[in-house]
Amino acid sequence: MKHEETEFMRHDLRLPELTVRGMVLGAILTIIFTASNVYLGLKVGLTFSSAIPAAVISMAVLKMAKDANILENNMVQTQASAAGTLSSIIFIIPGMLMIGYWQGFE
């Protein structure tokens, strides 16, 4: 019985996860979502989560490639979801001005 369970869980399929195509797509999505988050944050005062839109866009774009897989899509989505974290820099500058650490621009 134990042997059957290990055979079921064992899998020899090797799928590429870290690819140049995925890195480029993730970088493009990160730049787009970071810029839009910064703009929205400065204009309205809040940002949006970019993880779900990045996953949907990544699936749509990678579907055009015949050898794309879910691991590559996961890498692109994770890379692009960092845009929400990168865009939080817009809240640092007003905070520094409010506490008096930074007096103004030269």
Report the predicted TM-score, pTM, of the whole model to 2 decimal places.
0.75
Q: What is the pLDDT of residues 25-74, one digit of tens each?
A: 999 999 999 999 888 888 888 888 888 999 999 999 999 988 888 889 99
3-state secondary structure the chain: CHHHHHHHHCCCCCCCCCCHHHHHHHHHHHHHHHHHHHHHHHHHCCCCCCHHHHHHHHHHHHCCCCCCCHHHHHHHHHHHHHHHHHHHHHHHHHHHHHCCCCCCCC
Q: How far apart are CA 14 and CA 75, in angstroms?
A: 16
Q: What is the pLDDT of residue 45?
A: 81
Locate tokens 């140049």: which residue? Answer: 20
What are the structural domain ranges in the chain? 28-106
Instruction: Select the more confidently predicted residue: 64 or 103.
Output: 64
